[in-house]
Amino acid sequence: MTIKNKAYIAGAFEHPTRHAPDKSVAQLHAEVARGALEDAGLTKNDIDGYFCGGDAPGTGPLSMVDYMNLKVRHVDSTNIGGSSYIAHVAHAAEAIAAGKCNVALITLAGRPRSEGTAGGVPPRTDNPVQPDFAWEQPFGLATVNAYGLCAMRHMHEFGTTAEQFAWVKVAASHHAQHNPNAVLRDLVTVEQVVKSPMISDPIHRLDCCVISDGGGALIVARPEIAKNLKRPLVKVIGAGEAPKHQMGGNVDLTYSAAVWSGPTAFAEAGIKPADVKYVSVYDSFTVTVVIQLEDLGFCAKGKGGPFVADGNLISGQGKLPFNTDGGGLCNNHPAHRGGMTKVIEAVRQLRGEAHPAVQVKNCDIALAHGTGGLLGTRHGAATLILERE
C-alpha cells in the first residue's frame, strides 16, 4: 500500500505567540487545533483521528482528546522528538488510506520559554531508566554538545568551516526579516555568527535555534473531503521515516537517518531531489541542516558546507530556498520541537501563501524533513513530500 495521493493537508495553523506565560500547554494545543480547523473550513465534529507527540500533556493522546472533547476512532502518539509531526502526517495518510479515519488532527504546543525549562546547555535529564542514561548523562551530555560532536567530526572529515555553517543562519535571517512573528528578525552576517559567543565547540550562539513558546496544528483529510473545501489542494505524495543510533558502538556522526528516510520518500513520490522547489529542513543548529541536505541527496556527502554557502538557501537568490518562515534558527521552535512548523511553512509555500518576499515561484513540490532527538546519540528522521494540485 502506498500513501501517494491518498490524503491532503487541508488545514495548517501556526500559533502567533512566541511567549505565552498566561496560557496552559493544553490550552495552546486546543488553540492551534481551532486555528487549523478554521483554516480548513471544518469543525471539531469532523475530526475522527488525533495525533500528538511527547509534548502533549498526559498519557499519549488521552488527556488532550479529553480536554478538547474529541470523539475519535483512531489515535497515534508516535514520539520521535521534534520530527514526530512530520511522521504523523504520513501516519494520518496511512490511517486514512486504510479506512481508519477521515479527518486527522495533529497538534504540537509547549512553553519552554515561560517555564524556563532547559535550553541546549544544561545536561539533559532524561529518564534514568532508559538503558543509555548511565553511559551519557554523567559526562554532561546536553543538547548543544551532542550537535557539537557532529559538527566537529564533519569539519574534520570534510573540511567544513564555521563560516559555511554560519551561512545557514544568515539565510534563515534573510527570511525571518519578513515574518512579523519571528523571535529574531534582524539580518545577521557570517561574521556576526562566527563572532558570537562559543557555546560548545564549534557551535556559536547564533548557530543555535531560538527557544520559544507556541505551537501548531495540521488537518489531514481524505481526498473526497479535501476537494470539497475552499483551500488550495496540498497532496501527500511520499514519506519515509527511520531511526539512527549508536549501532552497538559503531558510532558514525557523519550522516543522519535521512539517508534512509529520504530515499524511501523520494521513491514513493516518484521524484528526485532536483524536482523539489522548496525544502523545510530541521534547523535545531546550523550543522543539522548541512548534514540533512547531504543525506537527502541535495548535494554529495561532505559537500554540504560549500552547498549552503554564499546564500544558496536564500529564497529568490539561491538554488534551494529553505525555511522561508525563518525556521527554528530565527522564527520559532515551539516546545523545542521544530517538525510541525516545517510542515506548516511547506504548506504555505505550496498554497502560494508564504510572505511575498520569500514565496518560491511555481512552487509545486515541497519537502519537509526533521531530525528528532539528538543527532549525536540517537534520533528519528521523518521525510514528507507534498505536491500542489
Partner 1 sequence: MDATDNSPEVKAFWEALADGRFLVRRCTDCSRAHWYPRGVCPFCFSGGTEWVDGSGRGTIYSYSVMRRVQTPYAIAYVTLEEGPTMMTNIVDCSFDDLRIGQAVRLSIQKRADGLSLPMFTPA
Concatenate the DSSP letters of all residues of 45-108 into one string.
GG--EEEE-TTSSSSTTHHHHHHTT---SEEE---BTBTHHHHHHHHHHHHHHTTS-SEEEEEE
Cis previous bond, 180, omega within 30: no
Question: Which parts of 210-359 fold into alpha helices (H)?
Answer: 223-226, 258-269, 286-295, 304-308, 339-351
Q: How far is the CB of 200 from partner 1 (least distance, A)?
A: 5
Find how far residue 344's CA is from the centre of its chain.
Answer: 9
Contact 346, 325 (CB under 8 A): no
Of 38, 35, 66, give the one whose Cα is nearest residue 50: 66
Q: How far is the CB of 308 from partner 1 (least distance, A)?
A: 21
Q: Cβ closer to partner 1: 139 or 362?
A: 139
Q: Cβ closer to partner 1: 64 or 151?
A: 151
Q: Cβ closer to partner 1: 151 or 309?
A: 151
Choose, by CB under 8 A, the member of 230, 249, 272, 361 that binds partner 1. 249
Q: How far is the CB of 300 from partner 1 (least distance, A)?
A: 21
Q: How far is the CB of 378 from partner 1 (least distance, A)?
A: 12
Choose, by CB under 8 A, the member of 99, 128, 180, 356 that binds partner 1. 128
Choose, by CB under 8 A, the member of 65, 141, 257, 329 that binds partner 1. 141
Query: What's the rounded Cα separation, in Å, for the pair 145 and 119?
Result: 12
Q: How far is the CB of 202 from partner 1 (least distance, A)?
A: 8
Query: What's the rounded Cα separation, in Å, for the pair 293 and 208?
Result: 17
Q: How far is the CB of 61 from partner 1 (least distance, A)?
A: 28
- Under rule CB under 8 A, how many of the chain's residues touch partner 1? 39
Q: Cβ closer to partner 1: 273 or 302?
A: 302
Segment 171 to 210, residues that bind partner 1, using CB under 8 A = 197-203
Segment 278 to 337, residues that bind partner 1, using CB under 8 A = none
Radius of gyration in angstroms for the set of CA atoms belonging to the chain, rounded to a whole number: 19
Q: Regarding beta strands 214-221 and 8-14, do their DSSP bridges make them parallel or antiparallel, or are they unpaired?
A: antiparallel
Q: How far is the CB of 255 from partner 1 (least distance, A)?
A: 14
Which residue reads 556576526 in cell numbers? 192
Give yes or no for residue 373 binding partner 1 (CB under 8 A).
no
Q: How far is the CB of 137 from partner 1 (least distance, A)?
A: 5
317 Rama sector, left if φ>0, alpha if ψ -120 to 50, beta otherwise:
alpha
Give yes or no for residue 99 binding partner 1 (CB under 8 A).
no
Grid cell in block for residue 39: 483554516
Give yes or no for residue 159 binding partner 1 (CB under 8 A).
no
Of 151, 165, 183, 235, give the one whose Cα is nearest residue 16: 183
Give yes or no for residue 116 binding partner 1 (CB under 8 A).
no
Contact 328, 184 (CB under 8 A): no
Q: Cβ closer to partner 1: 47 or 142?
A: 142
Choose, by CB under 8 A, the member of 148, 262, 318, 372 that binds partner 1. 148
Contacts with partner 1, 40-69, as mask; x by CB under 8 A: ------------------------------
Sites of contact with partner 1 (CB under 8 A):
121, 128-129, 131-142, 144-145, 148-153, 156, 197-203, 246-251, 253, 377
